[in-house]
Structure 1
């Protein structure tokens, strides 16, 4: 590692927000979406760079299934923060429909829309069939789908027939990102010269390998002349170590429910997870959530810097599955303070 790279500090990179629009026990999708907009308005004020929403289906604890609709809602309720998808699961959709939807979003909020693409279904197989009506698109043709999508925005790219045009969409400059939790999208993003975002928040063991693959396979393009990598990380920050650890039990319960194949709404924090999980489940969760950063301001700052030293990321996108909305707001406010993005934003 060069001395220049090793000197990269938190204040040198951008921080963004990944919001799954969590529906909590006792809450509703309506309340969740109102909280999403409220969080977006706060983090915009605190200096965060972008606000991404994710496509998931058939999950009672996530309200952002109609991702493009929620992006439009957030973009219209904010003024400068970038808003986008983290991501749109492209195999679930016709590339033309996505080009039209994001062309519309970009037309409504010029210069602020990101299109992050994933190749997983974002759901179970039965729901994937309900979405797609056939099994022809299983992710294996993802490179061809990306090619077709790019050609709708820029007819000089890709191989799509010019008999079909995306209106709105054609001619608009909408940044396309590839998202991944393994090496497939990392290599494809590098080959296409696109920015890449890695899901370290649930696949920490693959992080460094995927980033290395992305950087080694990168070819300069009209979009980027050098690699640009963003990493996802779970951060639960509070004013004390004890409170942060307790708040994090909601996220731990959420992942535990997924391991048990009983996904549900976000549960309130508990005092002792050892009363809920088995030793095997605890070990599995610690592996999956291994990169999560939980603690008070000093702990979070120290661990974020260590994660930056390890990944040399150009940007971090923060996920915070916290039961209480005001605790969630405070977590992001602490991040803005310790990374100095809040001060930098106020000086602009």
Structure 2
């Protein structure tokens, strides 16, 4: 079966251009991806981060979907504990009604921000993620809540037919087990650079239980890819992303620096993230 390629756009703000410039570049990226035959483009949710432009995926998705015609547009993802499940369901049901068959709803349990901003968002307990996913599915008309549930009679208006495609996002066994038990597609965030993605994918496939939404396992995996005419040039460009990740890990988020400046600060030109990244030229077999 051929590999289907898609794009994850974290809307990284380079040093110099503004966040508005970055959104314009995201439109150009979506159109270019569609012209090249990519299947989908997802956008991310981050808050209080000067180097990432988007905290509201459905707003950017609406902008991108109206400027493309075939590309599936989605969230990679909505951090569900940051939001009321009904609010998410209403936003994505409207998107799906406006762009039938083109909307993906990827949900995760991470914060996408620092602890202070998480409190400002009135973030819910991430341990309630399974309950929030179940409520989201019910509001979208995909399944029913247990008898007597206080929200059991709520559905979105408009009722999108078909509803947005719901994906569980994760990088660990927790997300794999939840997606498998719920009978939902599972997207592995391998670009984070941690964990054994092969083990997580096998766990999901081995424990998958069919549902009305999905009769067989369905997976997606994200990796960082940097390509250039030569491997040396690709490694030079990769330095920008490596420096961003190092700063995030140390709690010092910043804008994306030009490759030469980033490489000078790192003191070397290296491949970021080890096995979770692909860096090189496109012509090597």
User: Where on the TM-score scale, by shorter chain, does this alignment land: which range?
Assistant: over 0.9
1:111 aligns with 2:101: yes
Alignment match of 1:149 (pick from 136, 139, 149): 136
Q: Structure 1 residues 256, 64: CA separation in 2 closer, same or farther (over 3 Å shift)? A: same
1 or 2, which has the higher helix percentage? 1
Q: Which residue of the partner structure matches residue 281 of structure 2? A: 296
CA RMSD of aligned residues (A): 2.0
Asked if the contact 1:49–1:82 (Cα under 8 Å) also holds between the matched residues in 2, the reply is yes
Alignment match of 1:94 (pick from 84, 91, 108): 84
TM-score normalised to structure 2 length: 0.92
Q: CA deviation at 1:240?
A: 1.5
Q: Which residue of the partner structure matches residue 72 of structure 1? A: 62
Q: Which residue of the partner structure matches residue 235 of structure 2? A: 245
Q: Which residue of the partner structure matches residue 328 of structure 1? A: none
Asked if the contact 1:155–1:162 (Cα under 8 Å) also holds between the matched residues in 2, the reply is no
Q: CA deviation at 1:298?
A: 2.6
Q: Structure 1 residues 289, 62: CA separation in 2 closer, same or farther (over 3 Å shift)? A: farther
Q: Structure 1 residues 173, 60: CA separation in 2 closer, same or farther (over 3 Å shift)? A: same
Q: CA deviation at 1:138?
A: 2.2
Most deviating of 201-210 and 181-190: 201-210
Residues of 1 paired with 2:267 and 2:231: CA distance? 24
SS in 1 for 2:6: strand
Q: CA deviation at 1:106?
A: 0.8
Q: CA deviation at 1:241?
A: 1.4
SS in 1 for 2:17: coil
Q: Which residue of the partner structure matches residue 81 of structure 1? A: 71
Asked if the contact 1:155–1:170 (Cα under 8 Å) also holds between the matched residues in 2, the reply is no
Q: Which residue of the partner structure matches residue 63 of structure 1? A: 53
Moved over 4 A (4+): none
SS in 1 for 2:276: coil
Residues of 1 paired with 2:88 and 2:262: CA distance? 44
Q: What do the CA deviations read for 1:285-332 (whole angstroms, capped 9, x no partner)?
A: 95x443200111134xx5xxxxxxxxxxxxxxxxxxxxxxxxxxxxxx
Asked if the contact 1:153–1:172 (Cα under 8 Å) also holds between the matched residues in 2, the reply is no
TM-score normalised to structure 1 length: 0.76
Residues of 2 paired with 1:34 and 1:118: CA distance? 26
Residues of 2 paired with 1:206 and 1:70: CA distance? 31
Alignment match of 2:164 (pick from 169, 174, 196): 174
Residues of 1 paired with 2:59 and 2:274: CA distance? 30
Q: What do the CA deviations read for 1:206-237 (whole angstroms, capped 9, x no partner)?
A: 21121111111101112222211110000001
Residues of 2 paired with 1:14 and 1:182: CA distance? 23
Q: Which residue of the partner structure matches residue 125 of structure 2? A: 138
Residues of 2 paired with 1:155 and 1:210: CA distance? 26
Asked if the contact 1:87–1:118 (Cα under 8 Å) also holds between the matched residues in 2, the reply is yes
Q: Structure 1 residues 272, 28: CA separation in 2 closer, same or farther (over 3 Å shift)? A: closer
Q: CA deviation at 1:271?
A: 7.1
SS in 1 for 2:244: helix
Asked if the contact 2:236–2:259 (Cα under 8 Å) also holds between the matched residues in 1, the reply is yes
Q: Structure 1 residues 98, 16: CA separation in 2 closer, same or farther (over 3 Å shift)? A: same
Q: CA deviation at 1:155?
A: 6.5
Name stretches of at least 5 consecutive residues in structure 2 with no aligned partner: none
Q: Which residue of the partner structure matches residue 225 of structure 2? A: 235
